[in-house]
Structure 1
Amino acid sequence: MSVVTIGVMFGVFAALALLLVLVILRRGNRATENADGLLIEEARRVQAHQDRVSYNAMTVHSTSPTMSDLHRRR
């Protein structure tokens, strides 16, 4: 690869990174404007909490996460 090709490649990467930063900054941290959106956000938050409780290491393996696989096989 020539130096020009590498320069063009990094230029494209930089342009994409800049575009992504601008899109994220433009979105900002806007609040949800209607009750439906708030209800959806609350339902997702509750579901995420339930998943964390249901699928933690103690529940799935009946052991703490520091125990090795060799210990569980015995």
Structure 2
Amino acid sequence: MVATGVLFGVLAAVVGALIAVLLRRRNGGTQNADGLRIEQDRRLQARRDRVSFNAITLHGQAPNMTDQYRR
């Protein structure tokens, strides 16, 4: 019984720490125009990469169960 209480206490502490880290990160956004422009360029480049490197673009067809995936 005591071990279960300790386990839940540790889990609650970990969850609390993760919530604090996530809330602190949200407030750390970019504040200047240069940083916003860089973030926008990277987001647009990621979108272009997702479109140009998908399976249909590279192989001419959608992947299926018979494809041999390389590791």
> 1:28 Cα deviation (Å)?
3.5
| 1:69 aligned onto 2:63 | no
Structure 2 distance, partners of 1:54, 1:29, is 33
Letter in 1 for 2:65: S
Compute the RMSD of aligned alpha carbons: 2.4
Shift of the 29–58 alpha-carbon distance from structure 1 to 2, 3 Å rule, reads farther
Counterpart of 2:51 in structure 1 is 53
Secondary structure, in 3 states, of the residue corresponding to 2:10? helix
Deviations 1:35-62 (A, max 9, x none): 2211220121022112211221202332
Deviations 1:3-22 (A, max 9, x none): 32232122111111112213
How many residues get paired?
67
The share of aligned pairs that are identical, in percent, is 52
Letter in 2 for 1:11: G
Q: Between Structure 1 and Structure 2, whose CA radius of gyration is higher? A: 1
Q: Runs of at least 4 residues of structure 1 off by over 4 A?
A: none
* TM-score of the two chains, using structure 2 as the length reference: 0.66
* TM-score of the two chains, using structure 1 as the length reference: 0.64
Q: Which runs of 5+ in 1 are unaligned?
A: none
Secondary structure, in 3 states, of the residue corresponding to 2:31? coil
